[in-house]
Chains A and B, each alone.
Chain A
Amino acid sequence: MKGKPILASLATAFALAVAQPALAQENIKIGITTFTSGAASVFGVPAQAAAQMIAEDLNAAGGIQGVQVQLFFVDEGAGAEALTTEVRRLVQDENVDVMMASISSGNCINLTPLMEDLEVLNILWDCGTQRIFEEMESTYNFRTQANATPEMMAALLYLLKTKPDFETIAVVNQDYAWGRDSWELFSAALKKLKPEVEVVAELFPRLGAPDFSAEISRLLATQPDVILSTSWGGDLDTFVQQASQRGLFNNSTFVLPLAESSIQRLGGVLPDGVIVGARGDHYFLHPETKDDEDMKAFVEKFRERTGAYPIYSVFHMAQAFAALQAAYDKAAEANGGDFPDRAQVIAAMEGLEFKGYGRPLTIREDNQALEAQLMGVSRTVEGYDFPIIDDMMIFDAEGIMAPPGQNSLEWIGTLDASFIETEASEYKHEE
């Protein structure tokens, strides 16, 4: 399953068809790490399909700066050691021009220093840990989406703006880095903005836990006003199913910052009025871009290919490719129209402006992208067999994340009640 040059033959075929004579540059080789096994393949497999689809389209349109792209996939589910070996092989043997790694924050933390050593451009295309660029200076690593800090701040702001009168909160997060870190950020900010709120339960069931009955019993007994869960995948599906069956949604407001990625599977099981997020402004009915021709085409094509609407990991993948293409274009322009070398592409990543299928993005001086955040509530409407997102708010990134060089928790320590007034654009679902 590892590193198959799936598009190699296809790419060659296109290259022959286009028949550009005497091209000095061979393919642009892109190594992508993604989960094709394990629980996180709910993100990884759709994102892989998106990467293949985008590369086919790109090559059919002549490639990047006239050069075809060629993809190599590595399975993150194989474990950190196998992943490192395979990434090293891609860089040293296949000589990839760029890596896109990874989904897992743990893998990002492991691979970013390696990419610095190997001196190859790496696009952190999905992982969320805010620690990476706060703890290390990086020359070769760039992140083309937000990180955990703005994602959690947007969820908290949405809650405080729409349901300001809550007194108790409970958290049910997965017991690993993301579950712990996201709660640390959320609870630290909550303490600053609404110190009187009482945390009545902090539950961290095992990643992949098949049953939340006891957790739900405890929550039913304590009746917190708000229940936060940053869980995802099968864990979130199971939790929502069991909670909804037992009426936990009746008395508590749920905040599920990653629910956009589960909403199609959950269908009618997810009740209306649940606060949902999408780790960025990722939504196939994005109120500002849903009528754009390229967005409509992308959503339709992805549905044809996979049978589902794109979820946030798919949009993250699209953003990574958009950034790569923008960097090559920018570097070529700076190079007098000639095809740029690797150093020129990396230089172009600094301050790069690009656009996926949401608001435009910019890469900050610390190599971290500024990405807007979309939050909303679930709502059942005609025409979809799962809830859509209504009463949306889109937050710009600058106001809700730590400035470059500052630690997120320290930055959160400087917040005061005025933070709740952070501006957001508001949208209703349109039929």
Chain B
Amino acid sequence: MSFQILVLAALDGIAYGALVFLVAVGMTLVFGVMRILNVAHGSFYALGAYAAASLGIAMAGMGLSPWLAFPMFIVAAAVVGITVGGLMERFLLQRIYGYEETLQLLVTFAVFMMLENVQRLVWGVQPYFYSDPLRQLGNVNVAGITYTAYQTLFLPIVALAVLIGLRWFLRYTLAGSVIVAVTEDREAATAIGINARRVFFLTFVIGVTLASLGGALASPTTSVLPGMGAEMIVLSFAVAATAGLGQIEGAAVAALMIGLGRSTAVFFAPELEVVMPYLIMVLVLLIRPEGLFGKSTARKI
């Protein structure tokens, strides 16, 4: 019985952690490169979910195969990331890179508020649910308990693919190396001819595209409704802080810890479920104030 429960808690934790990682890694990346804490990150999660759900429902209405939903998720996420994210970076963030952090925080918070209302204007207040892809993948049976293959297999595989893909991109491609260079030392990178503005644009678009991909992939498992983005900001921030800001591998470990902590809590101490992510964050930061994978850096003058 207790072994069964451990298996169950692990599976639920991995599934949840995978989704949290997909969203949080984008925020971590953006912060690592641009040093901007993007509060509007949660809105991209919500926009991705709304776009995927409404496209999915439209596709189902046209009688298209639910398998097409999987490529559609990527397209929907990319469209949201490139258009909304691109516009936001180009016309808003570019103007405020030179200003202090408080202002940057306020500006992204304002964007978050606006996008929240845009969602209500466009999609109304009734929840959407689009679960065809989840049903399409069917169920798997583990330790006598039925799980959806979508949550226990598909989401962790996608998360792993994103993690490996991002590592490969940052280490072995030119664009990736340029991003790393700007992260390490913006001034030096600019001095050797790297266009930091282009790097910022690229990073931001990748970051928010990951957030909306997280939203798109979450849409078959949950109700898409106003306010869903707010929760993700706090959770993403908890992951990013636990990980060490800017640490991609750290984000994966932190998301997994939060997922496992939460599911274990449901089995053994349900009252703690809600505070679990923050409890983990506090514990980690007490021991390692710079986060799990964070490096303590000398302050530049």
Interface residues of A (CB under 8 A from B): 36-39, 41-42, 44-45, 175, 201-206, 208, 210-211, 213-215, 217-218, 220-221, 233-235, 237-238, 241-242, 245-247, 265-266, 269
Contact = CB atoms under 8 A, between A and B. Distances in A.
Interface in B109-146: 120, 124-127, 129, 131, 134-135, 139, 144-146
A202 to B, nearest CB: 7
B100 interface: no
Contact of B223 (A210, A245, A247): A210
16 contacts: A39-B226, A42-B125, A42-B127, A175-B274, A202-B270, A204-B270, A205-B273, A210-B228, A213-B12, A213-B16, A214-B13, A215-B266, A217-B263, A221-B8, A221-B145, A245-B139
Interface residues of B, number: 43
B11 A217 contact: yes
B139 A217 contact: no
A214 B125 contact: no
Contact of A41 (B144, B226, B262, B267): B226
Contacts of A37: 120, 125, 226
Nearest to B126: A42
A241 B263 CA distance: 19
A2 to B, nearest CB: 14
Nearest to B138: A245
A246 B266 contact: no
B221 interface: yes
Contact of A220 (B145, B218, B228): B145
B7 to A, nearest CB: 10
Given A38-B226, A245-B148, A246-B139, A211 B127 contact: no
Nearest to B152: A213
B211 to A, nearest CB: 14
Given A214-B262, A217-B266, 9 more contacts: A42-B125, A210-B222, A213-B151, A214-B16, A218-B8, A238-B222, A246-B148, A265-B126, A265-B127
Contacts of B106: none
Interface string B13-34: 1011001000000000000000
Interface of B: 4-5, 8-9, 11-13, 15-16, 19, 120, 124-127, 129, 131, 134-135, 139, 144-148, 151, 218, 221-223, 225-228, 231, 262-263, 266-267, 270-271, 273-274
A184 B223 CA distance: 27
Contacts of A218: 5, 8, 266-267
Contacts of A211: 16, 19, 221-222
Contacts of B145: 217, 220-221
Given A36-B125, A205-B273, A214 B9 contact: yes
Most interface-central of A36, A211, A235, A266 (chain B CB within 10 A): A211
Given A39-B227, A205-B273, A220 B146 contact: yes
Nearest to A236: B223
Contacts of A269: 129, 131
A37 B222 CA distance: 19
In the A-B complex, list the 3 residue pairs whose CB atoms are closest, starting with the nearest: A234-B223, A41-B125, A214-B266
Contacts of B267: 214, 217-218
Contacts of A235: 223
B5 A210 contact: no
Contacts of B134: 245
A269 B223 CA distance: 13
B223 to A, nearest CB: 4
Contacts of A233: 127, 223, 225
A204 to B, nearest CB: 7
A218 B148 CA distance: 15
Residue in A37, A39, A201, A210 whose Cβ sees the most chain B Cβ within 10 Å: A210
B274 A206 contact: yes
B127 A245 contact: no
Contacts of A42: 125-127, 225
A165 B237 CA distance: 48
